Structure 1
Amino acid sequence: MTRTAAWSETGSTLECLRDLAHRSLGRWELPSPISVTLVNVSENVTWRLDGPSGERWILRIHRDGYHSRDGIRTELVWLHALQNDIGIVTPQAIAGVDGDEIQTDHVSGLASPRNMVLFEFIDGVEPSMDADLAEPFRRLGDVSARLHLHAMTWQRPAFFERLNWDAAGVFGPLPNWGDWRDGPLDDTHQRSFLEGVEEKVLERLGAYGRTPERFGLAHCDLRLGNLLLVGDETRVIDFDDCGLSWFLYDLASALTLIDNLDTTGDLLAAWFAGYRAVRVLDEDDMAIIPSLVMMRRFAILAWFGSHAETELAAENREGYAAATCAMGEAFLSRSGDGDGHLPWL
C-alpha cells in the first residue's frame, strides 16, 4: 500500500476540514471575527484567514500520514533559519496559545486528528505566466543557489526528518506520490516504453552519486508559482515538499508543465545565469539535468494519478503521458554516449 492510497480531500471530507479550520481558530491569539477562505487543495488543504482590520494569515491543515510531526517541525526550523541566516523571506509559523507551532485537533467525520500550522501572510506578486519569464527565471535560479548553499552548511536538528525525493521516493515500492504506472497512461505500450526510460534514469542517477555538493535538503517544488516578488526582493513560499534530493531537482521542478515549450531553452538560460552568479555548476551537473527532468515527469505522472480530484490534474493530465514518451525518446537517443541530453540542452 502506497502512502497515497487514500488521497481525496474533496466532498464531505473537505467540509469536515472547513469545520476543523473554524473550530481551531481559538488555538491561536487571533482577533474576532475571522473569515476562512479555501486557497488550495494539494498535499494539504490551505486556507486564508482574514481578520476584522485587514489582517491575513495562512492556515495549513496537513494531510493525514504525509508528514510526521518531526517532519513538519523540520520544515518550520529550516524556514526560520533561511530567513534569519541569509535573509530570504519565508513563511514563518505562529505559535499557538500553548506555545506550540504545530496544533492538532479533530472533528466528527475525519478518520483521525489533523496537524495544523498557522503562518504569517507574506505579501508579494507571483510572476505571471503570460509575461516575459526571463527575469523571473533568473531570480528563480539565484534563490535556488542560495537555498542550496545554505542547506549544505546548515546544522540539522536532532529530530530532522523529511521525505526523500530520490530513486526510492519516485520509483521505489512506496513512492511519495504513488506509482507512476497508476497515472494517466494511454496504453500498455507507453508503460513498457517508460519502464525503459526509468531504467536509464536510475542508471545515470546512480552514476552521478549523492555527494554533499550534489545531494541534500532542497525545496523540491521551486516553481514560479512559489515565488513572491517585492521590488528586487525574491521571497519563497510552500516548502511542504522540501526534502532530500539532488539539488538540481529544483531546476526540474521549476520546469514542471513547461519543460517542452519553444521557450524552454530561454528559460533554462535565464535560470543558469541566476544560479551561476551564486554557485558553480560543473559538466557532470549539467549532464544530469535531463535525467532529473525525466524523473520529475515520472513524479508528476504519479501525482496526476493520486490527485485526480484536483483542478491541476484535471487541466493537465490529458496528453501528459504521450508528451513524456516523446521526451523519453529524445532522452534515450542521446543517452548512449553518456550525454543524456534533451533537445533544449
Structure 2
Amino acid sequence: MITDVETAQRVAVHALAQYGIEQDAVLTFVKYRENYVFKVEAESGSYALRLHRSGYRTDAEILEELDLLAALAEGGVSVPRPRFTAKGEPFSRVADEHGDVHQVDVLEWVADAEPLGDVVSAFTGEAIVDPADFHALGVLIAELHQKASTLQRQTPSVRPAWDAAGVVGGARAVWGDPRRAFHDGAAGRETVDRAMAWLGTELGVYGKAPDRYGQIHADVTPENVLVRVGRMTLIDFDDSGEGYYLFDLATAAFFYLPHPRFDDVVSALFAGYQTVRPLSAEDLKLWRPMLLARGLTYLAWAADRIGDETSDFIFEHLRPLVVELAAELVASAVSQ
C-alpha cells in the first residue's frame, strides 16, 4: 500500500510509458483522498493521472466507471474523456518497488478551469453564489442523467448502488452505518435512528422507476465542478454508480444548506435541470428527505476516518445539521 506522495509519483512515472506519454513529462501532485491524482504535462497534451488506492476498487468497477465516462463524453456531456493505453486498454496495472501492483488510469485534463467552489466556504456562507452557475449546473446534471438513461448495460452494474440500502441500509450502506458517527456520545443518535427507518420506507415507496433512478455521478460537490468561460465540466466519477437522480441534485445543494442564499441555489438548480428533464411531484416531495440521505452518508464516511481533518469538520459542523434535518422530518412524519 502506498502511503506517501513520492512513492506514488514514482509509480505514476512508470505508468506513463504504457500510455505512450513521454517519460520526461512534468508530474504535479494535485490531491489525495481515495486516489493519488497528478497533473501530467507533456508535449502530447495535459492529463489527469489517477493512481487508485489499493483494494478500494476492483478492476471491473474501474472499467465500468471509465466506460460510463467515455459514453458520456461521446454523447456530448461535458466530462473528461479517458485516454487508453498504447495497447488500447482502458487502464493499466503498474508495480511499485515492492512488487505491489496498482491500478492507474489517465483522463483528459480540463484546461483553464477553476472549481465552482469548496464545501467549507459553501457551508460557512462565505461562498459567492451566482444563480447562473447553479442553473448551468442543473442543466449539466440533467444532461448526464438524460444520456446515462439511454445507455444499455450488457451486464448488471458491479459498482455500489446509491439506493435505499446504499444510503440508509445501516451496515449494508455504501459508506456504512451513519449512527457510528455518534461514537463520542453526541446528542441525536436516537433521532437519526428514527429518521433512517422512516427514510428507508419513503425511498422504498419512491422506487426505482427509470425516470428517477439510473446511473449517477454521486459526488457533485463544488470541487468536482470545473468552470471555464462558457463551459462547465463534471469531474471525479469515482463514486458513480446506480442511484436516485435526485441524489445528484441533493449533493450539489447539500453543503449550501446553511448558506443565506440556499433557496436561490435550489431554485436555480431545479430550473436548469428542468430545461432538460422534468421533476415530478414525487421528486419535489422527497427533496428534503434526500438532503438528509446525503447528509447521513457523510456521517458514515467520517466515522471511518476519525482524526482526519475533513472528518473533524463533519463531526463539528455537519453532524448537528444532519440531526436537525432528521428531527424536522421525524416531526413531519408524526404530524401526518
TM-score after normalising by structure 1: 0.86
Distance verdict in 2 for CA 1:152–1:337, change over 3 Å: farther
CA distance in 2, matches of 1:108, 1:182: 37
Deviation at 1:245, TM superposition (A): 0.7
Deviation at 1:197, TM superposition (A): 1.3
Using the TM superposition, give the Cα deviation of residue 337 of structure 1 relative to its aligned residue in structure 2, in angstroms: 5.2
Residues 54 and 95 of structure 1, relative CA distance in 2, 3 Å threshold:
closer
1:231-253 deviations in Å (ceiling 9; x for gaps): 33322211111111111000111
Deviation of the 1:312 alpha carbon: 3.3
Q: 2: CA distance between counterparts of 1:54 and 1:82? A: 23
Q: For 2:20, give the aligned amino acid.
A: E
Q: Pick one of 105, 110, 118 that aligns with 1:117.
A: 105
Q: Return the offset for 1:308.
A: 4.3
Q: 1:184 Cα deviation (Å)?
A: 5.9
Spell out structure 1 runs of 4+ moving beyond 4 A. Answer: 308-311
State the number of aligned residues.
Answer: 326
Contact between 1:186 and 1:321, CA under 8 Å: does it hold in 2? no
Matches of 2:110 and 2:144 in 1, distance apart?
A: 18
Structure 2 partner of 1:251: 249
> Quick one: distance in 2 between partners of 1:205 and 1:175?
14
Task: Please point out which of 287, 295, 316 is paired with 1:289.
Answer: 287
Partner of residue 74, structure 1: 64
Query: When you count helix as a share of all residues, which structure comes out higher?
Result: 2
Task: Check if 1:151 corresponds to 2:148.
Answer: yes
Query: Are 1:91 and 2:80 matched, yes or no?
Result: yes
Counterparts in 2 of 1:195-214, with a 5 A limit?
Answer: 195-214=193-212
User: What is the deviation of 1:185?
Assistant: 5.3
Identity level (%):
26
1:14 CA displacement: 4.5
Matched residue, 2:229: 231
Task: Give 2:278's aligned residue.
Answer: 280
The one-letter code matched in structure 2 to 1:19 is R
Ranges in structure 1 where 5+ consecutive residues have no aligned partner: 1-8, 339-345
Structure 2 match to 1:3? none
Distance in 2, matches of 1:109 and 1:248, equals 44
Shift of 1:332: 1.9
Which residues of structure 2 form unaligned runs of 5+? Answer: none
- Paired with 1:73 and 1:16, the residues of 2 have a C-alpha distance of 24
- Assess if the C-alpha contact under 8 Å between 1:170 and 1:298 holds in 2: yes
Q: What is the root-mean-square deviation of aligned Cα atoms in Å?
A: 2.4
* Cα deviations by residue, 1:267-297 (Å, 9 ceiling, x for unpaired): 1011111011111111111011111111111
With 139-148 and 42-51 compared, the bigger mean Cα shift is at 42-51
1:191 aligns with 2:174: no
C-alpha distance in 1 between matches for 2:318 and 2:7: 33
SS in 1 for 2:179: helix
Q: Distance in 1 between matches of 2:189 and 2:73?
A: 43
| Contact 2:298/2:314 (<8 A) preserved | no
Cα distance in 1 between the residues matched to 2:309 and 2:37: 15
8 Å contact 1:136–1:224 — kept in the other structure? no
CA contact (8 A) 2:116 2:222 kept: yes
Residue 335 of structure 1 pairs with residue 333 of structure 2: yes
- In structure 1, the residue matched to 2:136 is 139
Cα distance in 1, alignment partners of residues 60 and 44 from structure 2: 33
Q: Give 1:33's match in structure 2, choosing from 14, 20, 24.
A: 24
Give the 3 Å change call, closer, same or farther, for CA 114–170 of structure 1 in structure 2: farther
CA distance in 2, matches of 1:317, 1:131: 25
AA matched with 1:161: V
Change (3 A) 1:82 1:309: farther
Of 93-102 and 173-182, the range deviating more from structure 2: 173-182
Q: Name the stretch that deviates more: 292-301 or 21-30.
A: 21-30
SS of the residue 1:222 aligns to: coil
Distance, in Å, in 1 between the alignment partners of 2:83 and 2:20 is 9
> Which of 155, 161, 166 does residue 163 from structure 2 map onto?
166
CA deviation after TM superposition for structure 1 residue 334, in Å: 1.9
